[in-house]
């Protein structure tokens, strides 16, 4: 018998996130045997809707082997095939439940950069032209990252993923409006003093339609406006490597200095292309059930009381013109238990130590979103 929590999640993915309707084609891309119960529920629900589901099975170990020997012409042909398939889809659901998040860690940086840069057109089409949603599935390796038992992590996972996203969406409205009216942003905290403009940029709600779990409101800085220093206080898993102690220095929007536990590796990543040293996204995290990092971006970027700053590509719905094969969300938590911090719009204090200060934004504080 299928866990009823899985059926609720599948229903939300099909109807709320992707809004499937009769005749729609949906590509369900998944990795890991643990994810099969959810994938099967998604397929059944899609058929009940009158949609046409298709399945894609991924395996990071096989991807790793391909990456080691691939040349650019080979990857370009693979992108051609994948892009043609994606152009036939109205929706895309990705369920990731792989056994090893670090499987790609020993693939040389130049190979990884070439691979993801060459495959970027397929991702761009999916992001900009389909109804899509991406989520993890609870696995023993994720429970280990979270420092819990598998059963405890599963209970946490379904609390986080099956919350009332419609209620969250309504609560996000006021902040999205404020972001669209604001011109100057300043962020301060331990080791951080950043200033930038968001004048004319759109505020976008992430309320369960694109990511599960969800809970962020994002925009993008004017490309050349970022100045100052950012000290990132969470570890970040990127391309199979765990970066820690990241410090970025900005001048005229560009990262002019980057240090981390592997300074050579982070600079190689930021040298993927010209856009990788500029910021494509600035976002508030507001999910009340996600409080601590677990080196999984889909969870960490939604942490209540956090913000993330993203070297690389901007989304078209909050577009500052930056283009890159990189889109790397770097999360900094500003709650008191992580050292605190402030975010100001045009000199007005918006959030202090992870809690929203203006009365119209109190609805986004954790006690009001649960």
pLDDT averaged per 10 residues in sequence order, the chain, 370 residues: 90 94 98 95 98 96 96 98 98 93 89 93 94 92 86 90 90 97 98 98 93 94 98 92 96 98 96 96 96 90 97 95 96 98 98 98 94
Residue 204 has a pLDDT of 97
The pLDDT of residue 146 is 81
pLDDT of 101 reads 79
User: Which CATH number applies to 4-161: 3.30.470.20, 1.25.40.80, 3.40.1830.10, 3.60.15.10?
Assistant: 3.40.1830.10
What is the pLDDT at residue 159? 87
Distance CA 263, CA 140 (A): 31
According to DSSP, the residues that pair with 279 across neighbouring strands are 311
Alpha-carbon dihedral angle through residues 85, 90, 96, 97, given to the nearest 10 degrees: -100
User: What are residue 190's phi and psi, to 5 degrees?
Assistant: -55, 115
C-alpha torsion angle, residues 166, 168, 174, 180 (rounded to 10): -90
- Angle 109-118/120-129 helices, nearest 10 degrees? 40
pLDDT score recorded for residue 315: 93
Cα dist from 187 to 35, 292, 327, 332, 337, whole Å: 39, 20, 21, 11, 18
Residue 302 dihedral angles phi and psi, to the nearest 5°: -100, 5
Q: Where are the domains of the chain?
A: 4-161, 165-369
pTM, to two decimals = 0.80
């Amino acid at each position: 018998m299928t866990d009823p929590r899985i059926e609720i999640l599948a229903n939300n993915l099909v109807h709320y996130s992707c809004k499937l309707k009769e005749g729609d084609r949906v590509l369900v891309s998944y990795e890991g045997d643990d994810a099969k119960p959810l994938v099967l529920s998604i397929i059944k629900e899609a058929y009940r809707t009158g949609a046409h589901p298709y399945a894609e099975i991924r395996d990071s170990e096989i991807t790793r082997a391909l990456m080691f020997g691939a040349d650019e012409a080979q990857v370009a042909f693979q992108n051609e095939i994948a892009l043609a398939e994606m152009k036939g889809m109205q929706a895309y659901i990705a369920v990731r439940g792989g056994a090893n998040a670090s499987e790609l860690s020993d693939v040389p940086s130049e190979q990884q950069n070439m691979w993801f840069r060459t495959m970027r057109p397929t991702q761009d089409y999916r992001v900009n032209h389909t109804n899509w949603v991406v989520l993890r599935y609870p696995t023993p390796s994720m429970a280990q990252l979270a420092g819990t038992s598998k059963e405890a992590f599963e209970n946490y996972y379904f609390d986080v993923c099956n919350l009332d996203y419609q209620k969250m969406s309504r609560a996000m409205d006021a902040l999205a409006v404020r972001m669209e009216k604001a011109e100057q942003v300043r962020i301060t905290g331990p080791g951080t003093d950043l200033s930038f403009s968001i004048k004319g940029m759109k505020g976008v709600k992430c309320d369960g339609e694109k990511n599960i779990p969800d809970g962020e409101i994002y925009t993008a800085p004017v490309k050349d406006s970022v100045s100052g220093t950012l000290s990132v206080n969470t570890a970040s898993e990127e391309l199979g490597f765990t970066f820690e102690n990241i410090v970025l220095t900005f001048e005229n929007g560009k990262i002019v200095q980057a240090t981390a536990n592997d300074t050579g590796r982070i600079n190689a990543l930021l040298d993927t292309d010209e856009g990788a040293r500029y910021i494509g996204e600035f976002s508030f995290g507001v999910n009340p059930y996600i409080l601590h990092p677990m080196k999984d971006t889909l969870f960490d970027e939604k942490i209540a009381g956090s913000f993330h700053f993203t070297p690389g590509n901007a989304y078209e719905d909050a577009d500052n013109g930056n283009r890159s094969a990189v889109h790397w969300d770097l999360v900094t938590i500003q709650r008191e238990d992580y050292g605190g911090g402030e975010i100001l719009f045009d000199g007005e204090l918006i959030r202090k130590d992870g809690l929203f200060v203006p009365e119209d934004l109190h609805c986004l504080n954790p006690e009001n979103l649960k």
